[in-house]
Amino acid sequence: MPSVTPSPRRSATRERVLTAASEVFAEKGFGGASVEDICERAGFSRGAFYSNFASKDELVLGLSRQHAEATVARIRTAASRPDSTPDDVIRDVFAALSDDARRNDRWLVLTTEFTLHAIRNRGARRAWVSRQREIRSALVEVVDEAVASRGLTLPMPTEVFVRAAMALANGSATQRLVEPGALEQGELERTVLPVLLAGGGGHGHGTGA
């Protein structure tokens, strides 16, 4: 059955609920925020909420989609610069991931909380795994496009590079939150990036995911 495009009014309602959820999750955490809290912040009834989202889990998945689309857009924009070198393209991937984490610490906290929830809840785990795969697939696609347009091949499979980039960006952001001042912004990225690229000087192996 073909998908039905939401009406402008329904799309606006969803966006308003997602915005409210982002704010309430930041204030109370995933576990502490209730559907009632989110409805009150959005100015909607529970009926309006449940006509758009089945649960708080779906809210996080919706926010995750927004977050991933914004990250991919930043990488595409950075990689499209005509004066960028192959190494610049790879650095742009790290910059887009780590910059987003720095500007949105509350998103890192929310996804950490939701990951713990997903580990304990089979249904949430399946949905979260599926979403993470979608995010990685989108990032692999944009990285492959960026490096291929400049005749670059990564020294590892693209999906491995994307996983490493995501893990490094998230881990670095987590350490800065837990131990402020222990790391300069971008310190781990600047240290580890040359090591990742040294596997073939950025030109050694295929980009297949």
Question: Is 56-199 assigned to CATH 3.30.230?
Answer: no
Could you identify the residue written with the tokens 């919706």? Answer: 62
The contacts of residue 173 (CB under 8 Å, 6+ apart) are: 98, 101, 102, 105, 108
Q: What is the pLDDT of residue 15?
A: 92
* pLDDT digits 0-9 by tens, 80-131: 776 666 667 667 766 776 665 445 678 888 999 999 999 999 999 999 999 9
The CA distance from 83 to 80, in Å, is 9
Q: How many residues in total does the chain contain? A: 209
The CA distance from 183 to 94, in Å, is 16
Question: Mean pLDDT for the chain?
Answer: 81
Geometric angle at alpha carbon 207, from 70 and 209, rounded to 5°: 70
Which range has the top average pLDDT, 2-6, 32-36, 159-163? Answer: 32-36
Q: What is the pLDDT of residue 62?
A: 93
Average pLDDT over residues 163-177: 84
Residue 156's closest CA among 196, 188, 190? Answer: 196
The CA distance from 90 to 165, in Å, is 10
Average pLDDT over residues 53-67: 92
Assigned fold of 9-53: Arc Repressor Mutant, subunit A (1.10.10)
Average pLDDT over residues 180-195: 74
Q: What is the pLDDT of residue 7?
A: 76
DSSP-H helix ranges across the chain = 8-32, 35-42, 46-50, 56-79, 86-103, 105-120, 122-148, 158-178, 187-197
Its pTM stands at: 0.77
**Start-to-end CA span in the chain (Å):** 30
Domain positions in the chain: 9-53, 56-199
Q: Are 100 and 106 in contact (CB under 8 A)?
A: no
Q: Are 105 and 24 in contact (CB under 8 A)?
A: no
Q: Is the pLDDT of residue 193 over 80?
A: no
Q: Is the pLDDT of residue 59 over 70?
A: yes
Least confident of 35-39, 120-124, 168-172: 168-172
Cβ atoms within 10 Å, residue 127: 18
